Structure formats: structure tokens, C-alpha cells
């Protein structure tokens, strides 16, 4: 075992991973679970009769339980009357005072998933990694958005972003790195050579460089 065994998040069912002094790890398991990774059920939560409605049915789960509620009842223990509820597995209702805690826990879970997906290493690699394009993963370092400065490689002696698409041709900005001055210079372009025109249109963006088409006119 290494000192980083907890990085793989081995503890299941809400168990907390702790580094052992002699190496490796151990899991602090929540009530109702046991085993090296909290993977075993050690308690039948239904023994305490948690479901409050007399017609509800309790089903034991690993470290938890479900209450199957009759129609018009919901809540973790079928304790809430809801005329629109069709019944079934009771769902916990988040109160307003618990909302910040709930979202904080959810955000922490998402951040753990970011680490599993190696998002910190992928951030800022100029490639959109969809699995990392979330708030918790810092939106993949803006690789999936327009947050990247489009003029980052523009080395013109003037500020091309200030004259971009202003209707005047600024030759210093007329290059790919400076986004061709927002096409302000294209009105001066000659027509594409008729010999290549049709060919270039048919072979545009086909993955091959055709030198006769490799110019601004075509």
C-alpha cells in the first residue's frame, strides 16, 4: 500500500477513508455497514419500524432502508401527505435550512469525480473534455468555452482587438493569429483563380493541403 490509497476512494456507502500509520488505509464505516471497505450490511434498519404510515412497507438496504408508501404519501418515512403523490419509494424532502448543506455535499462528490477523471491534469490543454466541463471541475480551464483569449497568439504591433471589424483594413492584423482583422481586408482580395475555384470548393476542409487553394482568395 502507498500513502495515497485513499485517492482511489475505496470506502463504500459513505465510509470515510483514513491513512493508516503503518501504511495503507482503513475505513470508518457508517452505522449499519462493516467490512474492509464498508461493503457489508451489518444491521437490518427495518427492525426499528421507521416507516410511519401503517400501510407502508419497509425494505432493508445496505446501510439504509426504503419505505414503499401508499398513494398520497411521500417522504423518507412516508410521513408527508401529498395529494399528488402516486406512492412508491418515499423520497426525502429537503428543507430550506438544509439546502446549503445538501448542495455542499453534492459539490464535494462532484469534485471527487473530477479527480477520478484526471480533470486537474486536463485543465488548460486547449481541448474540450466534456466530463470536466462543470463548475466543480472549473469548467475544464475554459477549454470548452470562449473564455480562452482568441488573440493570445496575436503579436501585431497594434491592438488588433480594438480595430477588429471596424470596416478599415489593418494589414498588421491580417493573419490567422489576429483573426484576419475581422475580414476587414477581404474587400481587396482578388477572385480565386478560375482554374482552382470549383476544385477548391469541392475539396474544402477535406484534410488535405491543396497548394492551389492555400490562399485567402480561395
Cell numbers 480565386 correspond to 192
Q: How far apart are CA 174 and CA 181, in angstroms?
A: 5
Q: How many domains, in total, are found in the chain?
A: 5
Secondary structure, 3-state, 183-216: HCCHHHCCCCCHHHHHHHHHCCCCCCCCCCCCCC
Query: What phi and psi, each to the nearest 5 degrees, are found at residue 16?
Result: -105, 125
The pLDDT assigned to 149 comes to 62
Instruction: Please state, as a whole number, how many other Cβ atoms lie within 10 Å of the Cβ of residue 74.
Output: 23
Does the pLDDT at position 80 exceed 60? yes
Secondary structure, 3-state, 31-95: CCEECCCCCEECCCHHHHCCCCCCCCEEEEECCEEEEEECCCEECCCCCEECCCCCCEECCCCCC
The pLDDT assigned to 4 comes to 62
Same domain, 191 and 179: no
The pLDDT assigned to 131 comes to 82
Considering only residues 194 and 157, tell me which one the structure prediction assigns the higher pLDDT.
Answer: 157
Q: How far is CA 135 from CA 41, 107, 108, 111, 146, in A?
A: 35, 9, 11, 9, 15
Among 27-41, 60-74, 86-100, 130-144, the least confident range? 86-100
Q: Which of 116, 119, 113, 107 is nearest to 143 (CA)?
A: 119
Does the pLDDT at position 162 exceed 90? no
Same domain, 87 and 105: no
Query: Which whole number is the average pLDDT over 154-164?
Result: 85
DSSP 15: P
pLDDT tens-place string over residues 32-51? 788 899 888 888 889 989 99
Same domain, 176 and 191: no
Does the pLDDT at position 146 exceed 60? no
CATH number of residue 13's parent domain:
2.10.25.10
Same domain, 59 and 20: no
The pLDDT assigned to 196 comes to 64
Same domain, 36 and 49: no
Query: Which whole number is the average pLDDT over 75-91?
Result: 87
Among 77-81, 108-112, 177-181, 203-207, the least confident range? 203-207
Cell numbers 406512492 correspond to 87
The pLDDT assigned to 57 comes to 93
The pLDDT assigned to 1 comes to 39
| Structural domain containing residue 163 | 149-184
Question: Do the beta carbons of residue 31 and residue 13 sit within 8 Å?
Answer: no
Query: Which whole number is the average pLDDT over 150-157?
Result: 80
Domain boundary among 93, 125, 158: 93
Query: Which whole number is the average pLDDT over 128-145?
Result: 76
Same domain, 117 and 77: no
The pLDDT assigned to 189 comes to 55
Same domain, 191 and 180: no
Residue ranges of alpha helices (H) inside 117-148 are: 119-122
Same domain, 52 and 22: no
Question: Do the beta carbons of residue 173 and residue 153 sit within 8 Å?
Answer: no
Q: How far apart are CA 132 and CA 116, in angstroms?
A: 10
The pLDDT assigned to 68 comes to 94
Amino acid at each position: 500500500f502507498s500513502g495515497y490509497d485513499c485517492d482511489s476512494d475505496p470506502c463504500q456507502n459513505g465510509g470515510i477513508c483514513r491513512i493508516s500509520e503503518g501504511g495503507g488505509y482503513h475505513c470508518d464505516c457508517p452505522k449499519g455497514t462493516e467490512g474492509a471497505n464498508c461493503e457489508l450490511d451489518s444491521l437490518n434498519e427495518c427492525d426499528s419500524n421507521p416507516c410511519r404510515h401503517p400501510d407502508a412497507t419497509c425494505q432493508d438496504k445496505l446501510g439504509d432502508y426504503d419505505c414503499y408508501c401508499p398513494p398520497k404519501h411521500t417522504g423518507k418515512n412516508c410521513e408527508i401527505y401529498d395529494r399528488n403523490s402516486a406512492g412508491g419509494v418515499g423520497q426525502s424532502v429537503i428543507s430550506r435550512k438544509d439546502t446549503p448543506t445538501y448542495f455542499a455535499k453534492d459539490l464535494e462528490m462532484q469534485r471527487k469525480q473530477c479527480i477520478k477523471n484526471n480533470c486537474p491534469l486536463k485543465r488548460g490543454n486547449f481541448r474540450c473534455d466534456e466530463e470536466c466541463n462543470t463548475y466543480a471541475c472549473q469548467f475544464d480551464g475554459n477549454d470548452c468555452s470562449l473564455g480562452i483569449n482568441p488573440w493570445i497568439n496575436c503579436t501585431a504591433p497594434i491592438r488588433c482587438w480594438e480595430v477588429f471589424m471596424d470596416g478599415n483594413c489593418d494589414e498588421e492584423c491580417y493573419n490567422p493569429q489576429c483573426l484576419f482583422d475581422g475580414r476587414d481586408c477581404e474587400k481587396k482580395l482578388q477572385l480565386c483563380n478560375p482554374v482552382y475555384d470549383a476544385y477548391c470548393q469541392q475539396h474544402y476542409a477535406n484534410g488535405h493541403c491543396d497548394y492551389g487553394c492555400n490562399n485567402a482568395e480561395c
